[in-house]
Amino acid sequence: QAWRHPSNIFALLGPRAPDDEVAGDEDAARRRNCAWEPAVPCSHYQSYLSLYDADDDAQRALYRASQGKCAPSIILPGTEKGASTYVWNLIAQHPLVLPPLRGKAFKETGVYAKGGLVPPAYLDSLDAPAPALNPNPNPDPAPRSTREELAEHRDAFARVVHAFPLIAAGEPFVTADGTVTYMMTKGAPVQLARDQPALKVIFALRDPVERAHSEYRFLFSAYEGKGKKKSFDAILSKGVQLWWDCLKEVPAFAPPPPQERESTIAVVLDFPDKGLHNVRLSLDLLTDIFFDKGDTYPAACRAAVGAKKVSRGLYAPQVWHWMRRFGRDNVKVVTLEEIKDRPAPEVMNELYDFLGLCRGSGVVTADDDGEEGLVLPQAHNRIKNRSPQQTLPSEYEMSSGVFEALHELFAPMNEMLFELVEQEFPYGAAHFRDKYGFSIP
């Protein structure tokens, strides 16, 4: 990894394109600029404590550290078993992307998912889209938060500040975090919106049933030998039923007032056998249900969200939770189905363009023959996190009935996602029946 050391970075950067090449050439203009300054300006970590006038030396030191480092500008919040590790590796091998200082494979720090990072009063008040950055960078919420909550926040905030490398304002580097549990964490985008309002967010997704099946196989050693109650069918069927029980409650929920509605996206749930007759479910309401941690919605819904092997596949509310804070232009969705057959350099270039990082001919590297190359070294399999390919025992494997039941639940949720990202993906039972040898019911 010596080539990644900051002292070697500038030896890897391609020369600026001459003026005569830049004129009228968008690609040359990008090569000229992208390697020399990050597209996302430096933004410092923002605490909910008035650290700058604190009497405690440790708090003052923490404040100085938080204001001397640029916060992460790239987040890959999920999904689990959605090719997030592959996408992370493509991003992380760029010479200007510095990995975190800690965490699983120097990819997943988990620090923005720590309980107490966002005091409850602020978590509730920022449940709507994040407003413009607070003009007071260090507001003191003491009148609204207990001393214990602030102490918990201080400890969690310290973990955030110290999890990432020192990047000073004006340096061309950026840092990132690929913790896949952020996708389901209510407070992660709340704190990140304060630390870096112009954050770039990339979701790596796949068909939700395929994702659940891959996760089960990945964790199979925890279920093996424990009988049918730990089979794929038993675990996932329970989650599906919990979600239908929750959705049956939707007609009783009062819709948000028009002035509080953020999205016009909605689907009609018409499943008479499930007790749902032309019930309108809005994306706003589903998002509120998904991230509700209190008593606003029935216990059936909290139990449904807790069935994580199913809930992780409800992508629309999770993507919307981030998109409404950072804006559509700062959120990108890639899918395993979309990228698995594409050459890695092509996917890399697309990601780098979105992130404002130099790509291709903007970075000079050597290929295997020692010749000057046009793409970064292909090391994207460095971190391996693939599900085992072994065949599961028949009593643990997914049946055609549960396969269809899962796709039935996910179908309207996928429609929300497609409308939200303005793109359709090859999700649904028709795309995967042949893989398992299932016939049309």
| Residue extents of the structural domains in the chain | 34-205+328-335, 209-311+396-436
Comparing CA positions, the residue from 233, 244, 247 lying closest to residue 282 is: 247
DSSP code, position 244: H
Contact status, residue 81 vs residue 149, Cβ threshold 8 Å:
no
**Digit-coded pLDDT (tens) for 270-293:** 999 999 999 999 999 999 899 986
Name the token pair of 319.
């993507």
Sign of CA pseudo-dihedral 108, 109, 115, 116? negative
Q: Cα-flanking dihedrals φ and ψ of residue 13, to 5°?
A: -75, 135
Cα–Cα distance, 40 to 325 (Å, whole number): 16
Coil vs helix vs strand at 377: coil
**85 contacts 383 by C-beta, under 8 angstroms:** yes
One-letter amino acid for residue 16 of the chain: R
Q: Would you give the DSSP letter of residue 108? A: B
d(C-alpha 238, C-alpha 106), whole Å: 35
Can you tell me the distance from the alpha carbon of 312 to that of 216, in angstroms, rounded to the nearest whole number?
Answer: 13
Backbone angles phi, psi at 58, to 5 degrees: -65, -40
Token duo for residue 203: 């979701």
Instruction: Kindly report the number of other CB atoms within 10 A of residue 271's CB atom.
Output: 16
pLDDT in tens, 222-274: 999 998 999 999 999 999 999 999 999 988 876 666 655 678 899 999 999 99
- Residue 304 to residue 255: CA distance in whole angstroms: 20
> Kind of pairing, strands 174-177 and 97-98?
parallel
Asked whether 197 and 42 are in contact (CB, 8 A), the reply is: no
Q: pLDDT digit of tens for each residue in the chain (441 aa)?
A: 333 444 344 444 444 445 555 455 555 554 444 445 677 889 999 887 764 445 677 777 888 889 999 999 999 999 999 999 999 999 988 888 999 999 988 999 999 999 889 887 777 554 433 333 333 444 444 445 677 877 888 899 999 999 999 999 988 889 999 999 999 999 999 999 999 999 999 999 999 999 999 999 999 999 999 989 999 999 999 999 999 999 999 888 766 666 556 788 999 999 999 999 999 999 999 998 999 866 778 888 999 999 999 999 999 999 999 999 999 999 999 999 989 888 888 888 899 889 988 765 434 443 444 444 334 444 444 445 565 566 889 999 999 999 999 999 999 999 999 999 999 999 999 999 999 999 988
132 vs 50, 70, 187, 344, 426, CA distance in Å? 19, 19, 17, 37, 37
